[in-house]
Structure 1
């Protein structure tokens, strides 16, 4: 930062402090508390970014004073709210990067400019690394490997290993992908990443593979450091970091390296891959690294955007994927690696190449020949293991090595494998792509926090879960939810310029989420997701078009990608919510956006003044599934009373494994909704999304609404948290389940053609429809629901159910015509209304009955319908029910 910018920040801190003092004197304590905290953030930033020559004591004293005033207001109970920090302020972003500036205690300073790195002291006294060397892998230990420095070999003069006497990089014979050797270290993902970078360099005349390594010679190629100090630039925790290492590498007693190296076509020796490997594995816990996703390793080396294509994913489309791959490959826009899963032998047909279990392969070519489509794979092992080598591998890797030797008579003939696209789709588990970020004309990255969630776990009984009401201003931190999960919200704006999109109808947008880590090996699995919602006035639909993967999917990785298409002819605005599940502590992340159109990314300070939280769940009957299920009516529902027009948002969080949706529906009486019509939906979260749903309505009118929370499939159980925020006061109440607290009976029957399917009253034989007798001893309330049991794909018949009083004194049989009602049927007491063809059926919602005998008649509108049915009868007092003869 320039001196002037630092001075401007100091002036802002002083001005903010003065404003806080004025607010406190005016007894506006809530505002004063917030302003003092903001001033504290500014002074803290100034202390950490001060010029070396400036005096820090006064700044620290100012920081102490403003935070002291804030604490005094808080202790006095005068602060009405927790201060909302702007997530994307300079101070907060700096705080996020500083929080992730080490891993396992190893410092990861931000990368300085290339000029600064070039002027570092690479000469003079021998550099001694204060950080311990990365731990060796078991295979290296068994071969008695130790770290040996280049200068120690050069001092011997005799028996100097070839690598120590060779240039670090021989630009006359640059490496191709198949020249790099993995050796016994289990980092196939990293070596495969290096190999595809080398292959790209050779094909497209780039310098990606060795670019992170310093110092460099006048041509821009890596060179040996005179004092043994090397710097490596790796994109880690969301930003380029500086990893300092010495020039020692693991060697056998004879001086030969036991790590990644390169052997040029002319026999030239390249050791620079070993230094990159060492720097990277220092961040991944040592040489005993078990590999990861190659695209993540390659992203750290090159900054190219990582993408994962799962061949077994439900949304995978092989033709579309091939066209995309081939188009990008022929233009040099992507680098590709491939991954296998376990039990590869069971997927191997006679004559097919042997593939190693749980392994990463470099993809050296994607081409078409004589109507067939091919992938050329290379195994990073690159040499036939000896008996001694094979014994250093354990578990699946050892079994794969032994199987490889058994099935491959000539290892060198089998190291490069060509397989068809069809075989790749059936045998490989994944393709890992890395896209050149330069294909997007516009890009930006922000750094932010997930805050620790306060609160306890949900109650054990979902049906008795409490409702918690908060009537004070809300903060950016999300209320405690199931999991727990943490969220941060952003507003993404796509500003289209015709010169950027060249007349296209759609333009792609990429969002890349990176979860920062401070441990090379984490004890707990953590899941992250990106949720993207289109910001419209009334309805919000989760974006699903233009992507190979379902948006909002949680992944147990440090990286997650969402890609979608947006209109190239108008400005588009989206709500982006990034989520973390699995741990409940403060954590940091980076979010990047890429597009051909101009993009803006802003945090969303919560403007809502009121919030209400409901904790509930689905279990048994209450797990009703989506609106296409007859049991949709039984999903948890909540009455939302809005006294006056307001804007509001509803957010549902649940297990990452449950696809969830939230609807806000206009409700005439605030009663349970049995079905949903498009015209009644006020706000929707759109498509079902795993673990999270969000709906927002602007200026919803005063009235009574129903909020429905459902999973996609019927019968899925789990807990959830529903939070509704609004500008004005609202009331959120759970709507009791149909028949809650009442006695329940289930009656079954069937309409049969010419026997009991006689249609409605207009057809003349209504009384011959299925009939049930209900005996009521004491005055009570009755709720009755009739629903058909139709098979999938069969149209639902129009239904009605009616309740009649049974006459105590029947009419004379001689006075009854054949078409008339039977003599015991009296006046109608209640009915379900007009005939309707709803999956959930029709219902008598609340009949109040005096003691006596009643008759229920279940009918279809059209005669001759054959269909079984179910009647659920709920009564406030015990009743007896029987089929009428």
Structure 2
């Protein structure tokens, strides 16, 4: 047993040992739990039930929620009963055993309780009950779970988390409000996996699955109570899903409300209404779906750590091998959207934070999983992945690269398991699942530390936080000149550079959990870039992730620009950028545009009289003209930017001597008209003292828009004034 496992056997200062097959010690007198009774939020009396239980089979609708706010537990018990009815699976009951004399063991770990249950002053159970059937095992399951969670007044949960504790099934939380939610694919997955009492036709000779591999509930948010088809829904409430079905023209979900004792407790709601009304879908997946799995136990050690970001992040590498190119069953996958079979293999990875004290509410975890040495899609397709949560579980479903599987049958995944909280030592478990025994997953323990490493501390300020690449301020983000040197082995070989000569480079950015990060490497001469060009991107960390970003790639020797950015321009705070490499490298900050120079900003607009277009329109001199006065010889530069994004609007900025009032002789220009999001600029150059005319223009006439011009000068006292009176 690992240290992390042993320490995690203590929850809320109660020893809950790992389950064993050892028989319980027989008791001859009524057993009383030496740990005491789980706390209750109101006065109650603990009584040993004496009425005999009914022999009638228990139905999901028999589960009644009473005074305790434990809707997720009631929903979990209800969906387990439904699964037992359809599949004789004996969920929950198989984990509850009695040694008589009022002593019960529930194999969450080994959680011992006595048979006393809480009743109110009217002799009514305050926890879950089963009405006239008087079956007690749901009450004992609830009590065992409440003991584990610190009492009947616990802070709330969801059924996926509850069922993971109660049954070991894999929890998945789907945010129905997320922009990335896909209702059609989700429906296909749950239809393939939900229990319907039939067999799923085998899609591979390697396995045959009974449909019954998921249980689920739906939950509302904490806002005002909602109505759906005249039915009042409760806020922050879990509803058990007891059936899903498709008719000729509609898709239906059957819900059970454990707080209602009438026929109104069963609700048939359309799938589209579920997606529009509820906040979350909580799915529990049968772990027996997966023939191959591997588990890692670890801990975040923050006490006396010299490098807190490093101590709060654990890096793992997972190898996978799929020589037969096995395809997963439909409930485990999402198709590629074109009706064709995908050659991608899906691997599930579950991060679980160990519980020590269920009253802690300020602990957060995150997980970043990506395939090693891959350029992750189009960097101009910006996405935000919000994955810091105070939940105890995070599930990531990873599709391995289709391209990689066309060329080889193995690969590796890089995992970052992250913690943000106030406590010195927190245990965690990472479990990787693959559906077929032919797909072998294993932890790579042979990865040596990088030979070269450098860490840079920085701050995203209001001036340097430029946001993602869809913002014109992207160019203001912190940028670094990375020079990758030729490896020692390659330097003694005169052959042309090949892939074998490339250097493995890892870029890792970390910040607080409220800042979403991305790190991108661009092929360049180590100069500051103003915007991303997909053909020049050699590696980027994928969707923006809160608190951390990581990318690993093999880079040829040369000069690169590394850009660290937050998702929005107003996200500010400290960050750390770490570079690791198998070969020698240099990295240094690239100064901001105009760094060390005096800056003057003017704002203007093209209106109905000044939006006259470029020189080819023969009215160029009617554009806004700014008189620039340079008091002495100095370096000079300027940038023109639109104040509001206007796709397709090409602009130019040109400089003329005052001796050319009709703007016939240009001495500096931003170049061809461009619709670059970052605007256009006159590169820094030396200028003699005197007066000049600075002219912003659009290529086409009639484009009314507001703009700003930022002027940089090596000396103070430069003046920029709008010239009046046309020519």
Q: TM (normalized to structure 1)?
A: 0.69
2:682 corresponds to 1:841:
no
Deviation of the 1:253 alpha carbon: 7.9
Q: Distance in 2 between matches of 1:313 and 1:716?
A: 21
Which residue in 2 is equivalent to 1:94? 2
Deviations 1:559-616 (A, max 9, x none): 1112233347643422121112233522111111222242424256562133333333
Deviations 1:405-424 (A, max 9, x none): xxxxxxx2323233333333
Which residue in 2 is equivalent to 1:803? 655
- Alpha carbons 1:534, 1:541 under 8 Å: kept: no
Deviation of the 1:536 alpha carbon: 2.4
Deviations 1:799-826 (A, max 9, x none): 2x3434445xxxxxxxxxxxxx558977
User: 2:142 aligns to what SS in structure 1?
Assistant: helix
Q: Distance in 2 between matches of 1:823 and 1:755?
A: 15
Which residue in 1 is equivalent to 2:640? 786
Deviations 1:431-458 (A, max 9, x none): 21111122223222221122217679xx
2:269 corresponds to 1:419:
yes
Pick the structure with greater CA Rg.
Answer: 1
TM-aligned CA distance change 1:356 to 1:835, over 3 Å: closer
Structure 2 regions of 5+ residues with no counterpart? Answer: 197-210, 329-340, 488-502
User: 1:607 aligns to what SS in structure 2?
Assistant: coil
Question: Aligned ranges for residues 44-443 of structure 1 at < 5 Å?
Answer: 94-112=2-20, 116-117=21-22, 119-124=23-28, 127=31, 129-138=33-42, 141=43, 144-148=44-48, 161-163=50-52, 166=53, 173-214=56-97, 224-234=98-108, 241-251=109-119, 257-262=125-130, 269-329=134-194, 330=196, 331-345=211-225, 347-348=226-227, 352-369=230-247, 371-381=249-259, 383=261, 412-443=262-293
Q: Distance in 1 between matches of 2:396 and 2:471?
A: 30
TM-aligned CA distance change 1:855 to 1:527, over 3 Å: same
Question: Which of 417, 420, 431 in structure 2 is aligned with 1:581?
Answer: 420
Which residue in 1 is equivalent to 2:367? 530
Q: Which structure has the highest helix share of the two?
A: 1
- Deviating more after overlay: 185-194 vs 562-571: 562-571
Q: Distance in 2 between matches of 1:850 and 1:529?
A: 56
Q: Distance in 1 between matches of 2:651 and 2:666?
A: 23
Which residue in 1 is equivalent to 2:207? none
Deviation of the 1:528 alpha carbon: 1.4
Deviation of the 1:772 alpha carbon: 3.0
Which residue in 2 is equivalent to 1:57? none
Q: What is the root-mean-square deviation in Å for CA atoms of aligned residues? A: 3.4
Deviation of the 1:504 alpha carbon: 5.5
2:534 corresponds to 1:695:
no
Deviations 1:833-859 (A, max 9, x none): 454432212222322223333333445
- Alpha carbons 2:649, 2:699 under 8 Å: kept: no
Q: Distance in 1 between matches of 2:265 and 2:349?
A: 36
Q: Distance in 1 between matches of 2:473 and 2:608?
A: 27
Deviations 1:158-187 (A, max 9, x none): xxx214xx5xxx7x6432212233333222
Structure 1 regions of 5+ residues with no counterpart? Answer: 1-92, 151-160, 215-223, 235-240, 384-411, 457-478, 808-820
TM-aligned CA distance change 1:627 to 1:332, over 3 Å: same
Which residue in 2 is equivalent to 1:732? 587
Q: Distance in 2 between matches of 1:622 and 1:326?
A: 48
Q: Distance in 2 between matches of 1:678 and 1:717?
A: 26
TM-aligned CA distance change 1:254 to 1:632, over 3 Å: closer
Q: Distance in 2 between matches of 1:415 and 1:861?
A: 66
Q: Distance in 2 between matches of 1:301 and 1:744?
A: 64
Deviation of the 1:97 alpha carbon: 0.9
User: 1:270 aligns to what SS in structure 2?
Assistant: coil
TM-aligned CA distance change 1:755 to 1:185, over 3 Å: closer
TM-aligned CA distance change 1:136 to 1:881, over 3 Å: closer
- Alpha carbons 1:660, 1:712 under 8 Å: kept: yes
Which residue in 2 is equivalent to 1:718? 573
TM-aligned CA distance change 1:647 to 1:453, over 3 Å: farther
Deviations 1:497-519 (A, max 9, x none): 43742785333322211100111
TM-aligned CA distance change 1:258 to 1:631, over 3 Å: closer
Count of paired positions: 672
Deviation of the 1:311 alpha carbon: 2.5
Question: Aligned ranges for residues 588-667 of structure 1 at < 5 Å?
Answer: 588-597=427-436, 598-602=439-443, 605=447, 607-645=449-487, 646-667=503-524
- Alpha carbons 1:540, 1:683 under 8 Å: kept: yes
